[in-house]
Every structure is written in C-alpha cells, then in structure tokens.
Chain A
C-alpha cells in the first residue's frame, strides 16, 4: 500500500496547497513535498524487487486488484516498482521538492495555484512510473499534461499562450497515436490476454501470441504498433525532428517548470519507450535498429548544433536536452546491459544535471532579468557561488569524470560499442560521441562570455548575490550529481537487475 499512500499523500498535499492563502503556499508546498521525499527514500530502503516487473520479475510493493470489469478485458489497479522505476521515483520526489524551493523567488502571483499544480503534477508523475496496468498508466500519463498546460500558460513568459497550446496539442496528438498503436497490439493478442496489465501483455507477446488483425499479419501489426508507439513517445522525449515544441515550452515556462519538464517529463518518454517498445517488441525494435540509431545520432548532433547557435542561455540548455536524450535512445537501441542500463542511468543523471542547469540559469535571470548571452559578461564577479555551481553543472553536462553525466555516457558508449544489433553500430556510436565535443563547445562558449571576463551588464538591475534559498537547491543537485558519479552503483546494480531480463529475450542480443 506504500505506493498508493505516496500518490495519495501527494494529491492531498496538492489540494491543501491549492486552497491555502498565497503567503503560505510556497513554504507549505515545500514542507508537504518532503513527505513524498521521505516516502520514496523509505521505499528505496525497503526495496526488495528482483528482475523486470514486466518479464516475470517480482515488483516491490505490488498491488493488483480488479478495478473495472468491462467486457473481455478487466482493468486492474496494478502498481509496482522494479529497478527501472525505483530510481525515477526518487528522482521525481527530490526534483519536485527542489523545484518548489526554486519557485519561491520567481513566482510572484497566484502562488497557491502554482504550488498546488506542481504537487498535482508530481503525484501524477509518481503514478506514471509505478503503474503496471496500461489503463491506469494512461490516465496518469495524460493527467500530467493538464497541470503542465496551466503552469506554462499562466506563469510563463511573453509567448506563454502559444507555447502552452503547442505543448498541449503536440503531446496530446502523440498520446492518441500511441494509444491507437498499443490498442492495436491488444486486439492482435485477442483472447490470449484477459486484462491490460503490462506484464500480462509483455509475456503474451513474448510467447508469440500476437495474431493478425484487420487484414494485417502479425509481423506487420507489430511493426505498425511499434511505429505508432515510437512516434507517440518520441514526441515526448523529444527525438529530432519531433522536438520543436520543446524549446518553445522551455523558454516560456518559468524556471521551476522547466526543471520539471527537462528533469522528469522528458523521462516519461524514454521510460515508456523502454517499457513498451523495447521490452514488449524486441524483435521489431531490432529490425528498426538502423532508423532508430539514425534518429538518435541526429538528435545528439542536431540538438547540440542548435544549442551552439543560441544566444539565450535557457535555449542553450533546452536544446542540449534534445542532445542528451539522443544518447538515451542510442543506449536503448544498443540492446546490451550497459546500453539499456546506461540509458536508464542517463535518465536519472540528466534529470539531475539539466535540473541544475535550468535552476542556475533561473537564478541568474532572477537577478539580471535577462538570459541573453550578449547582455552580460563577468557575472562571476558579482554572483560567485551561482557562477561556481553553473560551471560545475556544465562540467557535469560535458561528462567530467566523477559526475553522474560521465558515468551515464560511459555506460551508454560502452554498451553501444559492444552492441551486436547491427554491423554499423560502432560507426553510429562514434558519430554520437562527437556530440560531446560540441557540448563542451557551447557550454564553454556560454560560460566564457557570461561568467568570466570583465564585468559588463546591459540592464538597469543591480546585480547582487542570490538569496540562500535560491542557491541551496543548486547545491543539493550538485551534491547528488557528484554522489551518483562517484558511486553509480547506488542505482546501476538495481537497474542492471531489471534490464537483464529484457536482453535475455530471444537470446540473440
């Protein structure tokens, strides 16, 4: 019942915060959000799952009760946690709390609604990462969009309406396509399943129960479903060329929302790709290895090049997410322990580091009211702590050893080189590695021009040190990044344990 309690407490916290007067909302939201943090850490401490929850493993804290009996397929309330979801749950709770703290300064109006929505989103995110029934999972998946729409649309920058609607339309259409893809799989399985529980579906697919449907053969149906689901999730990730909603959403969203968007929401896409496409349809995935690897490399290089071309610090970080998430796709398609495990590890690492970078940009913006690289120079003189953390975060992004980003990228590249999915995989890996160079390029470029050199600022604001509560979340994130980099085994062993059953499928990998 601990998962239900976690979700329920977060929903309740959202409700309480929503009706509180604005004055108390920020502090109350922070205090209340500590409960899920403690809860998720307690879960982690009590964690006793083994294997992959979808492939016959034991999920921790599992609940499985029939919720809705409707025709042939029962809908179950099924939640559980395995080695893939556990790190993401810890990431979600911690990052939510830090994002809430980082919202104290920039959010000046309608605070109770803002913080209520943040907690509401957190609750739904926890649901996404724990649900093991498609229907329940889909409800949470879609429900995340609703608070995000408001958070961008109400508290965002000048073009917030456009960005909010674009985000909503893109991701909603993507969800519909994905839904159709998944449901066609269900119809193809026919009588071999009695519910929409993901383990049941995954195992029925593994057992070769997929039949034809609507004139399509089983193989064609699997391909169509794979493409539809891949499209749906790729928009969320986002994979180039489906990424165009992301820079708009990021630039217009207030800092804490960008943190959640980059830190957790993008992971919904890769998490779902891993759970659905790469776990349920490994054969099909392998047959699409070439186009997927191409997309991954394109995301890495194109995203990085776009970041290189930006003058807006936030846009730089936003495009760099496209690049980093490209690594995740590359790791997934490698189909090796290090590849898929590294991809999962990168989800957490990127969550921490991109959160850190967005917050750092946010802190600079709170003081200077500008994000343009051309408007400032030598900021390190006036805000040394923020600048220091910014530099450290950038190093993490570039993959400096002993930081989480290094471990993640190392795992992914190792796994991708070992991959036997296709002949040309080392070639793609090499091309993707070139992305690191560009990342180093644009980050060093941005830092050198904004933070260092003689102090110069085109604006009327006085540049002062950031308040403690702005910098503290940055410090926590930096600390976590280093801890995860020094000791990746905190998560990597449990990830490997959950990933290996995926790789054993078919034995060919």
Chain B
C-alpha cells in the first residue's frame, strides 16, 4: 500500500486546492495591511504556492496517480472531475508558467497598486486552468473555463491608467463573453442530442446511435469555436494580438502560455473522450469528422499567425502573432489523430502536449524578456531593441535562446519538440500537415531572428539606458532559458509521459 492508496481520493485534486488556497492566502495577506507594499511577501507566497502545486503534480505523475499503473483515472464528484496523467501533465505546465510569472511580477509590479489582487487573480486563473484539465463533464468544462477567463480579463486590464490595457481588456472580455455564449449553446445542442453532459456518457450515447447528426455537428462546431477562442486559434484569434500587446507583459506571458495550454487540455479531452473519432465518423445518419475541421484550422492558424507575425514592427505584437502560429502547430495534435482498426493512435496528441510544455518555457521566457524591456522603458519596436545585448548580455542571450527555440532551431528544446510533433504527424499519415508546419517553421526563423539581429548586431540608434537590474525578472528569465535548453537532452521523459498519458485517453 502506497501512501496514495491510503488517503481519500479527493486528495488527488491537491494541486488545484493548493492553488486556490494560495489565492485566498494572498488576499488575506493583503487585507492585513493593505497600505504597505509587501510585494516580496506576496510574490514569494504566489511563487511558493505555484511551485508546491507543481511539485505535487510532478510527484503524482511519477507515482502514477490516476494512471493505469495504479488502477486508472480517479473520477470524483459524480464523475464531474477526473484526475489522470493528462490533467497532471497540464497542471505541471500551468504551475511552472504561474511560478515564473509570479517571480517576474515582483519587479514588474514594484511601485504599482493592487499587488495582492494581481497575484491572487493569477493564482485563481491557474486554479481554473487546472480544473479545466480535470473536467470530465461539459458543465465543469464551462465553469472552469469561466473561472480561468474572468481573472484573465481583469489581469489584461490591470494597468488602469493605460488606454491600451483597458482597450485590450475590454476587447478580450467582449470576445470572451461572445465565445462563451457560443460554447454554452454548443453544449446545449450536444446535450439535446445525447442527453448527457458527462464526457464518457456522451460517447456511450452516441455509439447507440442518433438521428440528430446535424444538430450534433453544429454543437461540436460551436464547442470547437469556444476552444478556438481560448487557444487563440483562427477564427477566434483576433483578440489575441490586442490583448497580448495591451496587457502587462507578465500577463501576456501567462495568457499566451498557460491559458492557451489550458484550452488545449480541455479540447484534447472533450474531443477524444466525448466524441471519439471511431464513433462520430460512423454515426447512422452521417459523420462528424472533426479531425478534418482541426486539420483545416491548424493549417490556416499557423499560416495566418506566421505571415502576420512576419509583418509586425512591434516585438510584443510579433510574439502575439507567433503565439497564434504556435496554436496552429499544437492543433496538429488533434488533427492528425488516426483510428486504425478501431484503435486510435494518440502519439501525435502526446507530441502536441510535449510541445506545449516546451512552449510554456520558451514563450513565457520571451514575454518576460519583454516585461523586462518594458520595465527599462526602452520601447517596443524592433528598432528600440537595437543594441540591447551590449548592455544586458545575459538577458539577451536568454532571449536569443527563446527566439531560436521558438523557431525550432537546434540545439534548443523547441527543435526536438517540433521534430516529435511533425514526425508523429507523418507517422499518422498526415505528411502534408507536417510539411505545412515545417515550411511555416522555416519562415518563422525570419522574424524571430530579427529580434536577435536587433539585440546583438545593430547599433543602438539613440542612447540606450538600462536602469535597474531586476532580480526577479532575471531569475524567471534564466530559469526559463535553462529549462528551454535542458528540455533538449531531457526530452525523453517528457515525450514518454505525454504519449503515455495521451494514450490513456482513448
């Protein structure tokens, strides 16, 4: 009997509980003495909470909690939540991003108001994401998606005196509300057809057969729209550049890495568990082939994101569009799932998850570097980045690592995770999808290397003054850079875990 078998099953949700409690503790700390600026305590608490949650998730993952080795997924609360390898894997992504963002925010928030609220909003949003990854019912999917989204709206609009921030927050909120409505309507349509909200029950009811294939198809399409919003995929992507650009840079990092991963977590589960390809493509009244839908979305998303990124003059906006491009790569995970003789091959799904983990490090790091540049007050265009390396070589080196890794250049983690993703797609027979991805990836080197060129090779156009050396930002950026590099040699456990937990979904 291991420890995990002696404690009650609800303890499997410990990462989410720790995150939620940390969020409350942060509010408590802020309440005790709201006037003094106890930024260090707040940032420390938030980081500690995220790291603890991440540590627990990692420990669960190595112990096999909710995985086949210890008796399969743990379902709780009338099957509304499920703790399995995939939810833990994604929790690891959310918590590492949250920890990096919390550490970095220590410097970014210095001298600003509402610090306690900022950290607790981050922690609550992370809780929502963790719950999204654990959702086993369309109702919990919806609720946890809102729990993750509402704090995000506030975080985007956090710079109350900055018009860009307010505008971004409003735009994000409006499109978020709209897509929530679409999503909820999709859920109701699916409920109308199948009579259930629990994902496994939906699949079971579908396999019995239904005459309302058209309604189901519409429902699936609308649900996919909801996910497209959360993951910043075409056609619900247009909020992303505005929101990422207007938001405080640590929030952009948080949204484009963790929030996007959460969207994928829940999309992966809903589509593979509730609408298994083997079932929905062989319905009596027709077929709902969502893999084709995602293949089209993947191609359009990555191409649009990359081409738009290539034309930007603003580094933060370029990263925002490139983040859309990366959503396209991750979508390959859903698009290239194959059903061979009734057995689905989820290798590509696992590769997509592994890419999201690497992405969590490199993309968070890149946005945090922008947070640092914002703190220095240097500016946002490529020209403003000229010559940064001569003043801050360590940070510029880290940024170079992020850029080349995002472009998929060796010897960084992004290279091997992209390789795994494209290779798995080819193995599933979707070589054209991999080819489009590879071409896009090659194209992306153009705009990523512009940042590198500006930092290292161009001379600063005006006198470049770098004020303070923000410790927290440096720690977070270097941590992300080391993670990005180490994920190349250490990729085996990541991809192995990802593919194992992905296979458990089918």
B410 touches A143 (CB 8 A): yes
B409 touches A68 (CB 8 A): no
B427 touches A69 (CB 8 A): no
A139 at the interface (CB under 8 A from B): yes
Within 8 A of A (CB), among B424-442: 424, 427, 442
A70 touches B404 (CB 8 A): no
Within 8 A of B (CB), among A105-135: 110, 112-113, 124, 135
A46 at the interface (CB under 8 A from B): no
B410 touches A71 (CB 8 A): no
Task: Give A18 to B488 CA distance when docked, in angstroms.
Answer: 21
For A67, the chain B residues whose CB sits under 8 A away are 489, 492
Contact of A110 among B351, B390, B394, B420 (CB under 8 A): B390
For B488, the chain A residues whose CB sits under 8 A away are 139
Task: Give A497 to B76 CA distance when docked, in angstroms.
Answer: 67
Report the minimal beta-carbon distance from B344 to chain A, rounded to whole angstroms. 15
A residues contacting the other copy or chain, number (CB 8 A): 29
A71 touches B453 (CB 8 A): no
A160 touches B457 (CB 8 A): yes
B453 touches A161 (CB 8 A): yes
A154 touches B456 (CB 8 A): yes
Contact of A176 among B415, B427, B442 (CB under 8 A): B442
Contact of B457 among A124, A142, A153 (CB under 8 A): A153
Contact of A150 among B390, B456, B495 (CB under 8 A): B456
Contact of B427 among A71, A112, A113, A172 (CB under 8 A): A71
B416 at the interface (CB under 8 A from A): yes
A309 at the interface (CB under 8 A from B): no
A140 at the interface (CB under 8 A from B): yes
For B427, the chain A residues whose CB sits under 8 A away are 71-72
Given contacts A113-B393, A140-B411, contact A71 B347 (CB under 8 A): yes
For B415, the chain A residues whose CB sits under 8 A away are 139, 142
| Binary contact track B343-387/A, C-beta < 8 Å → 1, others 0 | 000010001000000000000000000000000000000000000
B496 at the interface (CB under 8 A from A): yes
B453 touches A68 (CB 8 A): no
Report the minimal beta-carbon distance from A351 to chain B, rounded to whole angstroms. 24
Within 8 A of A (CB), among B60-85: none
Within 8 A of A (CB), among B447-462: 449, 453, 456-458
Report the minimal beta-carbon distance from A172 to chain B, rounded to whole angstroms. 7
Residue of A nearest to B411 (CB): A143
Report the minimal beta-carbon distance from B449 to chain A, rounded to whole angstroms. 7
A483 at the interface (CB under 8 A from B): no
B491 touches A68 (CB 8 A): yes
B424 touches A70 (CB 8 A): yes
For B491, the chain A residues whose CB sits under 8 A away are 68
B287 at the interface (CB under 8 A from A): no
A19 at the interface (CB under 8 A from B): yes
Task: Give A293 to B420 CA distance when docked, in angstroms.
Answer: 39
Task: Give A146 to B405 CA distance when docked, in angstroms.
Answer: 12
A18 touches B397 (CB 8 A): yes
For A172, the chain B residues whose CB sits under 8 A away are 445
Contact of A70 among B420, B442, B453, B458 (CB under 8 A): B420
Residue of B nearest to A141 (CB): B410
B185 at the interface (CB under 8 A from A): no
For A112, the chain B residues whose CB sits under 8 A away are 393
A142 touches B410 (CB 8 A): yes
Task: Give A68 to B499 CA distance when docked, in angstroms.
Answer: 12
A154 touches B404 (CB 8 A): no
For A18, the chain B residues whose CB sits under 8 A away are 393, 397
A164 at the interface (CB under 8 A from B): yes
A69 touches B492 (CB 8 A): yes
A154 touches B457 (CB 8 A): yes
Residue of B nearest to A142 (CB): B410
B236 at the interface (CB under 8 A from A): no
A70 touches B456 (CB 8 A): no
For A146, the chain B residues whose CB sits under 8 A away are 404, 409
A168 touches B423 (CB 8 A): no
For A113, the chain B residues whose CB sits under 8 A away are 389, 393
A138 at the interface (CB under 8 A from B): yes
For A142, the chain B residues whose CB sits under 8 A away are 409-411, 415
A70 touches B495 (CB 8 A): yes
Report the minimal beta-carbon distance from B225 to chain A, rounded to whole angstroms. 32
For B423, the chain A residues whose CB sits under 8 A away are 70-71
Task: Give A286 to B471 CA distance when docked, in angstroms.
Answer: 61
Residue of A nearest to B494 (CB): A68
Within 8 A of B (CB), among A164-182: 164-165, 168, 172, 176
Task: Give A164 to B347 CA distance when docked, in angstroms.
Answer: 39
B residues contacting the other copy or chain, number (CB 8 A): 31
Task: Give A165 to B347 CA distance when docked, in angstroms.
Answer: 37
Task: Give A150 to B389 CA distance when docked, in angstroms.
Answer: 11
A139 touches B411 (CB 8 A): yes
Report the minimal beta-carbon distance from B276 to chain A, rounded to whole angstroms. 22
Contact of B456 among A72, A135, A138, A153 (CB under 8 A): A153
Within 8 A of A (CB), among B399-424: 404, 409-411, 415-416, 419-420, 423-424
| Binary contact track B330-354/A, C-beta < 8 Å → 1, others 0 | 0000000000000000010001000
Task: Give A140 to B427 CA distance when docked, in angstroms.
Answer: 25
For A71, the chain B residues whose CB sits under 8 A away are 347, 423-424, 427
Report the minimal beta-carbon distance from B336 to chain A, rounded to whole angstroms. 12
| Binary contact track A201-228/B, C-beta < 8 Å → 1, others 0 | 0000000000000000000000000000
Task: Give A142 to B419 CA distance when docked, in angstroms.
Answer: 14
Residue of B nearest to A172 (CB): B445
Residue of B nearest to A71 (CB): B427
For B393, the chain A residues whose CB sits under 8 A away are 18, 110, 112-113
Scoring B409, B423, B449, B457 by chain A CB atoms within 10 A of each residue's CB, the highest score goes to: B457
Task: Give A161 to B351 CA distance when docked, in angstroms.
Answer: 37
Task: Give A135 to B491 CA distance when docked, in angstroms.
Answer: 14
For B458, the chain A residues whose CB sits under 8 A away are 161
For A19, the chain B residues whose CB sits under 8 A away are 394
Residue of A nearest to B354 (CB): A70
Task: Give A247 to B367 CA distance when docked, in angstroms.
Answer: 38
Given contacts A70-B424, A71-B347, A146-B409, contact A161 B457 (CB under 8 A): yes
Task: Give A160 to B445 CA distance when docked, in angstroms.
Answer: 19
Report the minimal beta-carbon distance from A277 to chain B, rounded to whole angstroms. 22
Report the minimal beta-carbon distance from A153 to chain B, rounded to whole angstroms. 4
Residue of B nearest to A152 (CB): B457
Report the minimal beta-carbon distance from A106 to chain B, rounded to whole angstroms. 18
Residue of B nearest to A156 (CB): B457
For A153, the chain B residues whose CB sits under 8 A away are 453, 456-457
Within 8 A of B (CB), among A61-116: 67-72, 110, 112-113
Report the minimal beta-carbon distance from B195 to chain A, rounded to whole angstroms. 39
Task: Give A165 to B453 CA distance when docked, in angstroms.
Answer: 9
Task: Give A150 to B67 CA distance when docked, in angstroms.
Answer: 47
Task: Give A112 to B394 CA distance when docked, in angstroms.
Answer: 11
For A168, the chain B residues whose CB sits under 8 A away are 449
Report the minimal beta-carbon distance from B499 to chain A, rounded to whole angstroms. 8
Task: Give A69 to B419 CA distance when docked, in angstroms.
Answer: 12
Residue of B nearest to A146 (CB): B404
Report the minimal beta-carbon distance from B478 to chain A, rounded to whole angstroms. 11
Scoring A68, A72, A164 by chain B CB atoms within 10 A of each residue's CB, the highest score goes to: A68
For B492, the chain A residues whose CB sits under 8 A away are 67-69
Task: Give A146 to B393 CA distance when docked, in angstroms.
Answer: 16
- Point out residues on B near A: beta carbons under 8 Å: 347, 351, 389-390, 393-394, 397, 404, 409-411, 415-416, 419-420, 423-424, 427, 442, 445, 449, 453, 456-458, 488-489, 491-492, 495-496
Interchain residue pairs A-B with the least CB separation, the first 7: A139-B410, A153-B457, A142-B410, A143-B411, A71-B427, A139-B411, A68-B492
19 examples of A-B residue contacts, CB within 8 angstroms: A67-B492, A68-B416, A68-B495, A70-B423, A70-B424, A71-B427, A72-B427, A112-B393, A124-B411, A139-B410, A139-B415, A140-B410, A150-B457, A154-B456, A154-B457, A161-B457, A164-B457, A165-B453, A176-B442
Known pairs A18-B397, A140-B410, A142-B411; list 8 more (Cβ under 8 Å): A67-B492, A69-B495, A70-B423, A112-B393, A139-B411, A139-B488, A142-B410, A165-B453
